[in-house]
Structure 1
Amino acid sequence: MKRPLRRELMFQLVETSRLLRTYVEQRARQHGTTRAQWGVMSRLRRQEGLNQAALAEQMDLQPISLARLLDRLQSQNLIERREDPADRRAYRLFLTPEGRALVDDLDSVRTEIAQEVLGGVEEAAILSALETLSAIREQTRTRSEDKAPASAGNAA
């Protein structure tokens, strides 16, 4: 029996996402890092000086999970934590020269991956997919915000 179209799309999105995450993880490991570490370094390159709390929020990670990632990156001399002059309890995060070199090298890997998985796909199909994914992301974000529990500060 054929699945309804919207259910089939959801299945395909989830399965494709899983396969792509696994593939990117394999490629990252070939360069001595992980997909998660790559993501942290890429974010820091775009926004150096973020504190750990802001980075955790932006990446939708639990602070303890991010702290473990940052510990590994720091032990590999890929990032550094600097005291936040405005908050003695917080640290600002920066790439080291080695971290910047690695994330710059990984840009070519991202380009290779995009070519490998999208090389045979027409530009019009890619544009349509981007529009569709944007709509799905917005609907999901709206639904998530609608379902989020009220914070303690908003409680009556």
Structure 2
Amino acid sequence: MEIRALTKDDLDAVADLWNPLIRETTITFNPVEKTLDDLREWLAAPGPALGAFEGGALIGFASAHQFRGGLGYRRTYEHSINLAPEARGRGLGRPLMEALFEVLRPTEVHSLIGAITATNAASIALHARLGFSEVGRIPQAGWKFGVFHDLVLMQKIL
């Protein structure tokens, strides 16, 4: 597996991976699929966006951007990690996240937040193995597929 910074040339593959997750899962509460314009803006935002490639194909990506607006939050980032269905359960999330940590450590980012759907046990377990601690749960924080979903907040101090 090769891990590298994503470029604008990768955005079609990012959309092909991300949009089915938006359409079909509660991994994200957002019901609106990403357009190429959305992804160009996402890629241009401050913060890393890394892709995991196998045989030249994108099989996952991780990104991190400021947690909330304002200077007081400039050292706290929220991250996202998404793997293609064929990449899940193969231990590929760990090296992708560790690469994200390595990019962030030399920066001023001090704290990394993961906001995870409470029913996503695999993601919660991965984050715990990576040294994240559960710091909060927000009952019924998200709405998707006609039901409310709880959100688990996990944090790692870099």
Q: TM-score per shorter chain, which class?
A: under 0.3
**Structure with greater helix percent:** 1
The alignment's TM-score, normalised by the length of structure 1, stands at: 0.27
Larger radius of gyration: 1
**Structure with greater strand percent:** 2
